[in-house]
């Protein structure tokens, strides 16, 4: 794709780049503590947190391990653990 200065690129292009291998820690959701408030999904800059049937899960293909979801979780249901390579 050729991009000129000041160009606007169509959205959705990040889906083609799995960036999960960048992280050194990963968020893990404790479903027993989760209050299903959705804050984690809203604050994730990579849209890696999803909800299905009232269960939140993380798409590790795109999660960069920034920890915003864990930091903002009011129930303290998300823990950051070291990534195993």
With respect to residue 7, please indicate whether it lies within any of the assigned structural domains.
no
Diameter of the chain by CA atoms? 50
With respect to residue 26, please indicate whether it lies within any of the assigned structural domains.
no
Q: List pLDDT tens digits, range 16-68.
A: 778 888 899 999 999 999 999 999 999 999 899 999 999 999 999 999 999 99
Q: How far is the CA of 74 from the CAs of 23, 29, 33, 46, 52, in angstroms? A: 23, 13, 10, 20, 20
pLDDT for the residue 27: 97
Count other Cβ atoms within 10 Å, centred on residue 40: 27
Range of the domain at 78: 36-85
pTM of the model: 0.80
**Domains of the chain: total:** 1
With respect to residue 69, please indicate whether it lies within any of the assigned structural domains.
yes
With respect to residue 21, please indicate whether it lies within any of the assigned structural domains.
no
Contacts of residues 36-43 at CB distance under 8 Å and 24 or more positions apart, as own/partner, are 37/74, 37/75, 39/69, 39/72, 39/73, 39/74, 40/69, 40/72, 40/73, 40/78, 43/68, 43/69, 43/72
Q: What's the CATH code of the domain at 42?
A: 3.30.70.20
With respect to residue 1, please indicate whether it lies within any of the assigned structural domains.
no
With respect to residue 11, please indicate whether it lies within any of the assigned structural domains.
no
With respect to residue 17, please indicate whether it lies within any of the assigned structural domains.
no
pLDDT of residue 80 exceeding 90, the answer is yes
pLDDT for the residue 10: 66
């Amino acid at each position: 794709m050729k991009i000129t200065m000041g160009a606007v690129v169509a959205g959705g292009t990040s889906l083609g780049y799995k960036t999960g291998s960048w992280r050194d820690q990963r968020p893990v959701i404790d479903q027993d503590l989760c209050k299903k408030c959705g804050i984690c999904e809203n604050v994730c800059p990579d849209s890696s947190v999803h909800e299905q049937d009232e269960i939140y899960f993380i798409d590790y293909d795109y999660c960069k391990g920034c920890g915003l979801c864990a930091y903002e979780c009011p129930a303290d249901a998300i823990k950051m653990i070291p990534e195993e390579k």
